[in-house]
Chains A and B, each alone.
Chain A
Amino acid sequence: MTSLKARNALFAYRLLIPAIILTFFVHIIPTIWGVYISFRGLNVYYIRDWTQAPFVGFANYTRALSNIQGVFWSSLSYTLIFVIASVFGCFILGILGAVLLNGYFKGRNVIRGVLLIPYILPGVVSLTNLRFMFLQDWGIINSILLKTGLVSEPISWLTGKMALLSIIIGNVWVRWPLWFITILASLQSIPGELYEAATVDGASDWQKFTRITLPLISPTITVLTVLTALWSFNNFTVPFILTGGSPSKEANILSLNIWIRSFKNWDFGMGAAMSVVMMLIMLILILAYLRFTKLEAE
């Protein structure tokens, strides 16, 4: 019997070898390498042969985290606003869409398909289009706002403080259909008898929603929240495309900030130090999440 067990384990290892090799060479080694780079004074002068770059101790970290040179803390706080507002926006729209499309009516499937389009459309296309709509001079949004008299001066959506709002809208526009379709699937798995029983007991619609619907879909919401928070925290594409690669400080969220630091200013040492700090923050959040949900891949 033990030989069967051993044979099974051997088979499982064989199945996992490609994934393990890939993870090792393309995730683990580069991560260690990134930490190693963060201790070197690697800038544009050493790019040809970067192994010559001197060790500088924690200099990159002090530069990144100091208030004088580093914009790390402001970037981190805007990133957190971006994450929280995005999750909130997706939550509201996702629940709204799912509840509205849960019952059957004519045209429901068509509407469902239409609402999913932003999820299917390549993100870069959606975001380029939103950038076009947000343009100060030729954008349709300003045109509509001016025509209807809601504003008297064109708003500059893609610069300054407004850019933060624009990247949140862009992020929500791209992501909310996933919430909508997943919550809808979860709603449809709730047995109808529950609602019937509640109706017999005289519950109002709102009570049914808060007492039956919300508790039953909350596991789905938790997963969606975690995924959306992670993807938004790591996001590069949304602010990069919407601001055309030159964000105001409000839209300069972490990934883009590190990218600019590294590949525009060619200050790899500081970029690496910032990524390491970002990774540590992620790690803390992930461990808290794993502990919290006990999703320990049993």
Chain B
Amino acid sequence: MRKRVLKKTFKVVGIVFLLLFVLFPLYWLVVSSLKYPEDIYTMHPSLFPSRIRFLNYLDIWKAIPMAKYYKNSLIVSLLSMALATVVAVFAGYGLSKFRFPGRKTIGITFLITQMFPGILFLLPYYLIFILIKNKLGIPLIGTYPGLVITYTAFVAPFAIWIMRGYFDTIPSELREVALTDGCDNFKAFTKIILPVAKPGIATVAILSFMKSWNEVLFATVLTNSNTRTLPLGLYEFQQEFMTSWNLVMAAGIVISIPALIFFTFLQRYFVSGFTTGAVKG
């Protein structure tokens, strides 16, 4: 009897601890986004403010070019998501269901490129982009194409890896049956396999979108004031002299909305797709 009480206590204490660990920062984010500036700049900010200011959510659109950042982030993230997903679905299927010379080398190359630090590529990209501009006159630094290419490449190896793991869970017989029924390889792929692989594709699409949406490192160098994306916009806003933290927090919440929507819609797919894809991979 005593043991059961002890067990229950441990369980409750553990859950409360984890909830506090996660919820308190989230609470602070939301509460601070609704505060008056005077209630922020104090040694002991109040946990339950006596007044709230919804106007913060209007002010941020004037304080920084949020609309422009939003547009930039949407363009870049959606394009990278589309490109990376297509590349990953093709490559993942090829690696999972076919045997051909060079398969092992290609698979390992993808696996290894995914593990290299982004900073390793940023420097050469920057210099190659300068070279391309000097020699060919095509500007890539501070443009959408430069960012989209970079993000696609940066997201693709991981996406391929997950996609391949997902295709591994789809029985090969499915394809063989389709082939004996008179489909060619392409038809078997598009008509039979792709519909079954929807959860995996959804996972890869969300992950690709979120990775681009959150990306900071490449954005520090490859964007300019016209193509600035949200994460870097938020960083710069926070770095300003006399930061308005209440507005920074409000902006942070506005930035999070697409990721939250995306996730809520596709959560069911996401959890199953990620665990089958990534962990078995």
Contact = CB atoms under 8 A, between A and B. Distances in A.
Contacts of A2: none
B279 interface: yes
A15 B91 contact: yes
B90 A114 contact: no
B19 A111 contact: yes
A123 interface: yes
B122 A259 contact: yes
Interface stretch (A61-69, A70-78, A136-144, A193-201): A136-144
B174 interface: no
A43 interface: no
Contacts of A133: 25, 28
B41 A138 contact: yes
B153 to A, nearest CB: 3
A290 B87 contact: no
Interface in B114-133: 115-128, 130-131
A219 B278 CA distance: 12
Contact of B255 (A97, A122, A146): A122
Contacts of A146: 43-44
Nearest to A42: B127
A33 B127 CA distance: 9
Contacts of B149: 26
B90 A19 contact: yes
A27 B123 contact: no
B226 interface: no
A9 B25 contact: no
A100 B40 contact: no
Given A12-B98, A37-B124, A122-B214, A236 B41 contact: no
A230 to B, nearest CB: 5
Interface string A233-265: 110110011001100000000110011001100
Interface in B1-22: 7, 11, 14-15, 18-19, 21-22
A100 B18 contact: yes
Given A140-B45, A245-B239, A111 B117 contact: no
Q: How large is the interface on A (under 10, 10 to 19, 20 to 34, 35 or more residues)?
A: 35 or more
A7 B186 CA distance: 11
Nearest to A103: B11
B185 interface: yes
Contacts of A47: 130
A45 interface: no
A26 B239 contact: no
A290 B109 CA distance: 12
A100 B15 contact: yes
Contacts of A298: 104
Interface string A8-32: 1101111110111011001111110
B259 A121 contact: yes
Interface string B147-179: 001101100110010000000000000000000
Contacts of B125: 30
A186 B149 CA distance: 36
Interface string A203-238: 001000000000000011001100100100110110
Contact of B94 (A12, A143, A223, A255): A12
A143 B45 contact: yes
Nearest to A32: B124
A223 to B, nearest CB: 5
A282 B116 contact: yes
A155 interface: no
A186 B22 contact: no
B269 interface: no
A186 B217 CA distance: 33
Contact of B100 (A9, A115, A138): A9
A137 B234 CA distance: 21
A186 to B, nearest CB: 7
Given A16-B90, A23-B157, A297-B95, 10 more contacts: A8-B100, A13-B100, A16-B106, A22-B153, A97-B18, A120-B263, A122-B259, A125-B253, A205-B7, A297-B104
22 contacts: A13-B100, A16-B91, A19-B91, A23-B110, A26-B121, A27-B153, A31-B116, A34-B121, A93-B18, A117-B26, A122-B230, A123-B216, A125-B256, A128-B238, A138-B41, A173-B25, A181-B271, A234-B116, A236-B118, A237-B214, A258-B119, A297-B111
Nearest first, the 4 closest Cβ-Cβ pairs linking A and B are A15-B94, A26-B153, A297-B107, A12-B98
Interface of A: 7-9, 11-16, 18-20, 22-23, 26-31, 33-34, 37, 42, 47, 49-51, 93, 96-97, 100-101, 111, 114-115, 117-118, 120-126, 128-133, 137-138, 140, 143, 146-147, 173, 181-182, 185-186, 205, 219-220, 223-224, 227, 230, 233-234, 236-237, 240-241, 244-245, 254-255, 258-259, 262-263, 268, 271-272, 275, 278-279, 282-283, 286, 290, 296-298
